[in-house]
Amino acid sequence: MDIISIEEMNHIYWLGRYSERVYTTIREYFKGRDIMIEQPAFYITYCKNFTIPNCYKSSSDFLHQYAFDENNPDSIISNLNYAYDNAILLRQTLGTETLSYMELAVNQLKNSKNSPAALLELQKVLDHILAFWACIDDEIDSEQIRSVIKIGRHLERINLYLRLRKSKDFMMKPFHMLVARLRKGYVEYDKNELDRLGMNITGNTIDYLDGVKTSESIIKEKYRCII
């Protein structure tokens, strides 16, 4: 096992979480945008599902500010900046080529703020994130680093799917992938909380609020200091 400091482990873990948060929220943003064509007030439900403040004046204000407002800590661009900040601190670990895809994602999103084809530009952001993840698998030799990034990703996806009240069919795959990575022993975790989450999402009725709370309790506290 590689010797990795707690500080570096934090950045690796949160790089996984933030990059997944951007990827999943952009995909849900696409769906929400379609719904808002017929239900303009759906952005209120969207904010409630993600448990973020509804600071928007209208659906059009939401669609623009939620994607591009760097002063909003819950916006897509802010979360992408959080991912990039962690990646920058891991420059030596990730390598230039891998980091370049995160830089491309940030630049793509910033440049699409006033684009008449914003949805197309956002799709390119998703493509850059996918390339970033692929490059991590291809360029980083350390299984520990790859696994911790994926632990962050899988846990974040489950957390977001619980907030969005998705069915267990959506959560089973990331949950099993999370369990497989955690069992490699690269980060400390609470097995009881992991089992509790598993029983919740595989049951006949999912307790979504408890699931969100449990998902945030699985990883030990020392890995929770975000940038």
Q: What is the pLDDT of residues 96-153, one digit of tens each?
A: 999 999 999 999 999 888 888 888 999 999 999 999 999 999 999 999 999 999 999 9
Mean pLDDT of 207-213: 96
State yes or no: pLDDT of 5 exceeds 90: no
* 42-73 tens-digit pLDDT: 999 999 999 999 999 999 999 999 999 999 99
**185 pLDDT more than 90:** no
pLDDT at 224: 55
pLDDT band per the 50, 70, 90 thresholds, residue 209: very high
Mean pLDDT confidence for 16-26: 98
What is this structure's pTM? 0.94
Confidence bin at 226 (pLDDT 50/70/90): very low
Looking at residue 130, what is its pLDDT?
A: 98
The mean of the pLDDT values for the chain is 93
SS (H, E, C) the chain: CCCCCHHHHHHHHHHHHHHHHHHHHHHHHHHHHHHHHHCCCHHHHHHHHHCCCCCCCCHHHHHHHHHHCCCCCCCHHHHHHHHHHHHHHCHHHHCHHHHHHHHHHHHHHHHCCCCCCHHHHHHHHHHHHHHHHHHHHHHCCCHHHHHHHHHHHHHHHHHHHHHCCCCHHHHHHHHHHHHHHHCCCCCCECHHHHHHHHHHHHCCCCCHHHHHHHHCCCECHHHCCCC
- Residue 175 — very low, low, confident or very high, per pLDDT cuts 50/70/90? very high
